Structure formats: C-alpha cells, structure tokens
Chain A
C-alpha cells in the first residue's frame, strides 16, 4: 500500500491549494470540485441496499458493526449514573454471550468524560487494540453558536479530562454564507486545541451537520474543507437535526475520503451519526464502505457509527443467528 504522508493540518491545505488557505483560495478550490448529481447518487445508494448479506457474511457483518459503534448519550438529562450504565453496556454488551465484541467508543458531553473513563476502567483505550475509547462532543455542540474562545475552552477542557476523541461541529452559518476561511480557521484552531502536553493529540471528528447544508454539492465542499483543515474523521450529523445520517450522504462522504486518499495517500475516517437504528441499515453502510473505499476502511480508526439504539438491535440479530429464533427486547439489556 502507499506510504501515507503525515502533514501538519495547515501544510495539508497548502500542499493541495498550492498556497495559503485564504478565503479566496478556498473558494476557488471548493467551487472547482466536481458537482454531484442527486438522482445518480441516490440511485447508487439504493443499489447498495439491494445487496443480500446472508449466513456467515451476516454474522461477520454484525460483529463488525458492533466494533464500529460509538455508543452515545447526548441528553441534557445525562447524569453520571446514566454514563456509568452506558459504560457497563459497552463493557458487556450481551451478558448471555461474553464473546460479543465491544463497541469502539463511548460518546458523551465534555463534563462526563471523567466519569466515562473511570467507569470503563482497564478497558479504556484504543479501539483498534480492542479497547474502548471515550469521545466528547465539544465546540458548543450541537449548534456551534458560541465564540471561538468558548469553543476552544470547551475542547481543551474535554481533552484535559482525558477524551481520546473530540467531535466538533462546524459553523454552518459561516459555511452557508460562503465564509469558508472562517470555518477553516476554526477547525484548525480546534485541531490545535486537541493537542496534549505530551505531544500526542485527541483525534478530531468534524461534524458537518449535513441536514442543515441541504445540498449534496455543499456536503462535498464541507467535507473537503474539513479535511483540508485537518479533520481525522468527517461526521454527518449531531443527531439533533433531521435528516441526520442518510446512506446517500454517507456514500458521498466516502467518495470524498476515497478521492483524498488517491491524491495524498492519507486515510480519513467517516462517521454517519443519527437515525441508524436497525442492523439491516447498518449492514448497508458496511457494504457502501467496502464497495466505495474498500475493506481496510472497516476499522475503528476509519469508520464509526454514531448510535445508541443500534447496538441492541444488532445483539438481537446476533442472538437470532446463534439460536435460530428471535427473542425480544427484554432479552437484551437497556443501558
């Protein structure tokens, strides 16, 4: 495989733009990207949905899905107790089958990071090594309507509390108004705020909130913009806006990371979030990933599902494959 170059975020943009990431340079670059035909994109996504995943493939797919889930609770009513309960679910997804894989991460608000880490105990760590990471939403999630200083403080706070991953939101207002430079600068600043004193950094997921961007062309531009500014992951939605993740939008974002990989050799992750509740739907996303960017992307550092209810549906399907019959919602634990 190719040798991925590790560029500093700003250097990434300079290399692609051929100069500084000014508003004008970004505009020229983003508006020069190939356009998206909505009908064609949706047809392609519908095509993935006709794939038929059976028997051994289905079993493998279900386990893969679990290992890619960011188990999420993002409620105003969250409490330490609720987060501990979620952590317990992540540690033991199915008490009836201890061989069940664990989800990739817990995704919580910044003030719950410490609780989550403590509750995970020895299982806290890198999901690509079979442990469970802690992700925190930051930057005035979900609206992003706060000053940059507040967003950065929000981010630093979560990183200092031990968050492994930061899920930030972009300023959709600035993006839709064409102030690409501002959006770029903000992502760059948050990326810097992800740095830890020991020289490592929290991984940065950039939420585009595609439901507010409205057009596929805008989603493609926002995806490029986020990657240019240093995103490790591009994520569809906060889950607080409808529509949240859709298959066509995810396919489009996968095409962007595929193209980025063609140009730079770097691999960027994709995270659809919000609205994916059924195993059947999740498997369609796996198919889209495998057939668009390839199987290596089906790893926690390159693909995640932002979901809460999905895990239990996958567990029910898993039990069905194992036992040959369906049980019911009382045969999986609620978190």
Chain B
C-alpha cells in the first residue's frame, strides 16, 4: 500500500474519551458525622475536622473527633457487648450477621464505591471492581468460618480474645476495615475501629450497614480522629491491637503495648521488588509492572516499587513501559475511564515530591508520563526512575506514591540478593515463563506474599503479612482468623 503513513497523527479524537462520570447522587452524605458507639451516633469531645475530596479539595463532611474518654466509652460498650451478647452467641448465629453484612455491602456496592472514590481519590474503576467486591468477599469468607472455629488449628473450642482495637490506613479504607472486622467478629470478638483521619466516610457508612444488618449494639464501634485518638485506643482496655500503617507508628504501638497482655498484629510498610527475568512474557510483565506500582496511585503497602529487571532486556522494557504509561489516563476519580486518581492528601503529595526530588539529586534519571495535571486537588504524574542504585534513597524508602525505581540484575542469585536487600519484606513479584525458576527464586525471597506472573492480587483465603520491618502476624485465611483466637481451656 502506498499510503502508509498519510493518516498518522491525523485522527487524534477517539482517545479523547468523552467524560463518563459515575453519578455521585447515589451517596447521601450528612453534613456532619458523630462517633458510632454502642449502636448509636454520639458526639465526640475533640475538635471536629472536615474531610475533603482530594481531587478538588472541596469539603465533604464534618467529622467528630474522639478524645480519650470517648474511646474509653467505646471500649466499654464493646466489652459489654462481648460479655453479654457476642461471646455467648453460637458461631452459626454470628455467621448469619456476617453473611447479612456481606450481602448489604453488595447491595450498596455502588454507593460505597462512589463514597470511597470521593474521600480517597482512587479511580472509580478500582473502588468498583476491586475494593468493594473484595470487601464483600472478605465478609462472606469469614462468615463461613464463624461456626467452624474448631478447625482453625487451635484445637477444640478455641476462645475469642475479647475486645479488639483496630487502627486502619487511608489507602484502602473500607477494604482494610473488612480485613480487620470480618475475622474479629467471626472469631467472636467485638471491635472498636478507628479509620484514618483523611478517609473516614466509608467506615461511617459501614456503621449504617451494621445497623441495617441488626448487629447487636456495641459489637462494632467506630471512633474517628487522628493519631491522638489512635494512641488512646491502643492504650485503652483492649485485648488485641490490630494495626495497618507506617512502620514508625507500628514501632510506637509495639512499644506502647510491651509488657501488657495485649496481642498485636502489625501490617506495616514495604518496598517490594518486582523481578522481571529475560524469559518473562514481556507484554504481560509490562502490565504487571504498571499494576504493581500505579494501582491506587502507588498507595499500596505491597506495591512493586522496585523494578528489578534483567540487564539484557532493560532498555527494551523501559522503552515499552514508557510507551504504556503514556496511555494511562489521570483525572477525576469518578470518571469511569480514569486509571490514575488523586493523591490522598497534601501531606502525602509533599512526601512524594520530596523523595522524587531527592532521587533526582542523587543522580537517578527521572521520567514522568506526559499528562495534564488538574489545577485543583493533589496530583502526581506516573513517574519512573532509571539509573537507580541500591543505595539511592528512592530504592530504600517507601514512597507510597506512583513512583517506580528501576534497577538491574544479571543472574537469579543477584536478583534474590537485591530483592532481599531491604529492611522490609511484605511482598515480591517474579516474572518468568519458566515455572522451576519461579519456584526456586520464590523459595529464597524473604517476603510474606510472592506473586508469580501477576501482582497485587488479593483473596480472602490467602494469608497476607510481612517479614522484618513490614510487621508481624497474618491477615486473611485461617491464619488471619487465629490472630483473633486463643486455645480453649482443657
């Protein structure tokens, strides 16, 4: 054909997809929210704050703050519910409530997805297709365990711990709530949960779901606030502390509960290696790398933030990766075609900027996808750093943003050594078409979760947790259940 290139560059219209916004009318937010204690909304005694939409900086609702007395009230309510109702209820009955909650989550899925995207800034396609379906899956899974605790591996008739104090992060607000509440309730505990201060909305909607499900008062209590409220909860009369968040706060919690009877599971930071061998299925590996670090704007503790690529394919892979990143669509979280949403807060954006500048200053080569950044709100274009050495700050510190550091290796042994060379150990990824190599490498990686030829896949039946500074204890699966149980009396 003679007209090979004639139309190149001409048709640039189709990819400018017309806006396809999900309607926000499905969410009716109240102007202000109190604390959910003992099955009722009560006022907080701290100074309330406003939660905002990070994509526009527009206020969404006023949120109460629980002070120490409010937290004590919530813990007391949870204790009463535990003693009088929940610990006496047969497992099958507890299971019924959990099944009911799971079904309500499904029924209200669109509302929850929109609320999550509004408050967190994540794209609606992720809250709709990943977060909320997983929330329902978590409740369904643990609902099934509620009457089968004898098979949890602790012998006959294991017992619940009592009241669990749970503190969750802002990156997957409702999903982290489900990871915490579902196993706790299935095992027979009652809970006091504190959502992150920048993303309290879906937890407050969940309180409404608990009421709708007829859950006995006090079994689930939600207290909102910032770090001080969290500290009060950790210090309060709880039997178990479950925390997901930064390693610094995790350390503080471990110190605070040292010498007490309180148990803890800590799910902390990560700096996961995503290892791409030269025999990897290259197109799918590119997708996996993109999904590994740019999913949820990189606000993922198990994100594949260090790309370890075999030297022989480095240039080609980086080239293809850049090409792929130019097709990512950054914009309104509620638009169904958005791939990259907003950064959750000004504070987090500042941290991502600072670490990226440091990366440049330390000699790494920066490339950002060419995308228009909206004027309002907090945004950061997908960015990759090449020429990164293992000693670079951006290769060692968790950035928690859409920033990928690319490093190279020559042999499987070097890949393993570099992957393990981090204080963290939450997750890792391996890309190769050769099964035996995947198994051999996985065996030597010190990370809690290892994905092969995929990344960031979650399932309620699979335990999740870290090595080293990524924390201790496991969530998910039977292991996640036993974290809320102790062996029965003989």
Which B residues are in CB contact (< 8 Å) with A36? Answer: 281, 283-284
Q: Contacts of A37 on B, CB cut-off 8 Å? A: 281, 284, 433, 453
Q: Contacts of A3 on B, CB cut-off 8 Å?
A: 5
- A-B contact count, CB below 8 Å? 96
| Interface flag for A23 (CB, 8 Å) | no
Question: Is B314's beta carbon under 8 Å from chain A?
Answer: no
Q: Is B489 an interface residue (CB 8 A)?
A: no
Q: Specify which of A40, A50, A57, A290 is in contact with B288 (CB 8 Å cutoff).
A: A40
Distance from B455 Cβ to chain A, minimum over Cβ atoms (Å): 10
In this assembly, does B129 line the interface, its C-beta being within 8 Å of a C-beta of chain A? yes
A34 in contact with B9 (CB, 8 Å): no
Whether the Cβ atoms of A60 and B20 lie closer than 8 Å is: no
Partner of B11, one of A40, A50, A296: A296
Cα distance A183–B285 when bound, in Å?
Answer: 30
Residue B79 lies at the interface, judged by CB distance under 8 Å to chain A: no
Distance of A58 Cα from B407 Cα, bound (Å): 42
Chain B proximity mask over A120-138: 1 for CB below 8 Å, otherwise 0: 0000000010000000000
Residues in chain B near residue A58, CB distance under 8 A:
18
Is the beta-carbon distance between A60 and B454 smaller than 8 angstroms?
A: no
Q: Give the CA-CA distance A290 to B14 in the complex, in Å.
A: 8
Residue of B nearest to A36 (CB): B281
- B8, A52: Cβ atoms closer than 8 Å: no
Look across to chain A and name the residue whose beta carbon is closest to the beta carbon of B281: A37
Within the assembled complex, what's the spacing in Å between the Cα atoms of A34 and B277? 11
Is A39 in contact with B453, judged by CB distance below 8 angstroms? Answer: yes
Flag whether B375 is at the interface (Cβ < 8 A): no
Give a binary string over A52-87; 1 marks a CB under 8 Å from any B CB, 0 the rest. 111111101100100000000000000000000000
B18 touches A299 (CB 8 A): no
Which residue of the partner chain, among B4, B16, B336, B433, contacts A50 with CB atoms under 8 Å?
A: B336
Interface pair B14/A295, CB less than 8 Å apart: yes
Report which of A232, A295, A299 forms a contact with B12, defined as CB distance below 8 A: A295
Is A4 on the interface with B (CB-CB < 8 A)? Answer: yes
Contacts of A97 in B (CB 8 A): none
Q: Is B147 an interface residue (CB 8 A)?
A: no
Q: Is B284 a contact partner of A41 (Cβ separation < 8 A)?
A: yes
How far, in whole Å, are A124 and B20 apart by their CA atoms in the complex?
39
Q: Determine if A193 is an interface residue (Cβ-Cβ < 8 Å).
A: no
B11 to A53, Cβ gap below 8 A? Answer: no
Contact of A327 with B by CB under 8 A: no
Is A242 part of the contact surface with B, judged by Cβ < 8 Å?
no
Asked whether, in the complex, the Cβ of B284 is within 8 Å of the Cβ of A295, the reply is no
CB distance from B485 to the nearest CB of A (A): 35
Other-chain residue from A39, A43, A53, A298 in contact with B17 (beta carbon distance below 8 A): A53
A260 contacts partner chain B, Cβ-Cβ < 8 Å: no
Across the interface, do B10 and A296 meet the contact criterion of CB distance under 8 Å? yes
Name B330-350 residues within 8 Å CB distance of A.
336-337
Q: Give bound CA distance, A172 to B217, whole Å.
A: 67
**B282 contact from A34, A232, A298, Cβ within 8 A:** A34
Closest beta carbon of chain A to B454's beta carbon, Å: 7
Contact A50 B20 (CB under 8 A): no
In whole Å, how far is A123's beta carbon from the nearest beta carbon of chain B?
19
In the assembled complex, A320 has its CB within 8 A of some CB on chain B: no
A56 contacts across to B, CB distance below 8 A: 18
CB–CB B4/A43 < 8 A: no
Cα separation A12 to B90 with both chains bound (whole Å): 74
User: Are B18 and A232 touching (Cβ within 8 A)?
Assistant: no
Proximity string of chain A (172-215) to chain B, C-beta cutoff 8 Å, 1 when within and 0 when not: 00000000000000000000000000000001000000000000
Could you tell me if B433 and A51 are in contact, using CB atoms closer than 8 angstroms?
A: no
Contact status B287-A43, CB under 8 Å = yes
Is B453 in contact with A60, judged by CB distance below 8 angstroms?
Answer: no
Residues of B within 8 A of A299 (CB): 7, 11
Which listed residue (A4, A41, A57, A128) contacts B16, Cβ 8 A?
Answer: A57
B1 interface contact, C-beta 8 A: yes
Whether A255 contacts B336 by the Cβ 8 Å rule is no
Contact with B along A215-233 (1 / 0, CB 8 A): 0000000000000000010
Q: How large is the interface on A (under 10, 10 to 19, 20 to 34, 35 or more residues)?
A: 35 or more
B13: interface (CB < 8 Å): yes
The CA-CA distance from A50 to B19 in the complex, in Å, is 14
B interface secondary structure, majority: loop
A291 lies within 8 A of B327 (CB):
yes
Q: Mark B452-489, 1 if CB is under 8 A from A, else 0.
A: 01100000000000000000000000000000000000
Q: Which residue of B lies closest to A251 (CB)?
A: B283
Cβ-defined contact, A52 with B337, below 8 A: yes
Q: Are A4 and B4 in contact (CB under 8 A)?
A: yes
Does B30 sit within 8 A of A, measured CB to CB?
no
Bound Cα distance A64, B4 (Å): 19
- Chain B residues with CB below 8 A from A291, complex form: 15, 327
- Evaluate contact between A54 and B281: CB separation under 8 angstroms: no
Report B-chain residues with C-beta under 8 Å of the C-beta of A203. 1
Interface string of B263-293 (1 = CB under 8 A from A): 0000000000000000111111101100000
- Cα separation A60 to B13 with both chains bound (whole Å): 8
**Which residues of chain A have C-beta atoms less than 8 A from B12's C-beta?**
295
Q: Which residue of A lies closest to B431 (CB)?
A: A37
> What residue of chain A has the Cβ atom nearest to residue B124's Cβ?
A52
Closest to A46 in B: B129
Q: Which residue of chain A has the shortest Cβ distance to B17 in the bound complex?
A: A57
Is B299 interfacial (CB-CB < 8 Å)? no
Q: Are A39 and B125 in contact (CB under 8 A)?
A: no
B3 within 8 A of A: yes
Are the CB atoms of A60 and B14 closer together than 8 Å?
A: yes
Answer whether residue A44 sits at the interface, using C-beta atoms and an 8 A cutoff: yes
Closest to B10 in A: A296
Contact mask for chain A residues 285-303; partner B; CB cutoff 8 A; 1 contact, 0 none: 0100011000110110100
Query: In the bound complex, do residue B5 and residue A286 qualify as a contact, i.e. CB atoms below 8 Å apart?
Result: no
Are A54 and B283 neighbours in the complex by a CB distance under 8 Å?
A: no
Contact among B8, B15, B18, B285 for A290, CB-based, below 8 A: B15
| CB-CB under 8 A for A53 and B20, given A34-B281, A35-B433, A40-B281 | yes
Taking the complex as formed, is A1 at the interface, i.e. its CB lies under 8 A from any CB of chain B?
Answer: yes
A296 touches B17 (CB 8 A): no
- The 8 Å CB contact of A267, one of B4, B16, B279, is B4
* Cα of A55 to Cα of B5 in the assembled complex, Å: 29
Kindly state the separation between the CA atoms of A203 and B17 in the bound complex, as whole angstroms: 32
Question: B19 contacts which chain A residues (CB < 8 A)?
Answer: 54
Residues from 104 to 132 in B contacting A, C-beta threshold 8 Å: 125, 129
What are 9 residue pairs bridging A and B, where the CB atoms are less than 8 Å apart in the complex? A39-B454, A43-B287, A44-B283, A51-B17, A54-B19, A54-B20, A55-B18, A64-B14, A296-B9
Residues of chain A touching chain B, judged by Cβ–Cβ distance below 8 Å, are: 1-4, 34-37, 39-41, 43-44, 50-58, 60-61, 64, 128, 203, 232, 255, 266-267, 286, 290-291, 295-296, 298-299, 301
Binding site for A on B (CB under 8 A): 1, 3-5, 7-20, 125, 129, 279-285, 287-288, 327, 336-337, 433, 453-454
Known: A203-B1, A255-B283, A295-B11. 8 other contacts (CB 8 A): A3-B5, A36-B283, A37-B433, A39-B453, A51-B17, A52-B17, A296-B9, A301-B1
Q: Closest 4 interchain pairs by CB?
A: A40-B284, A52-B20, A52-B336, A37-B281
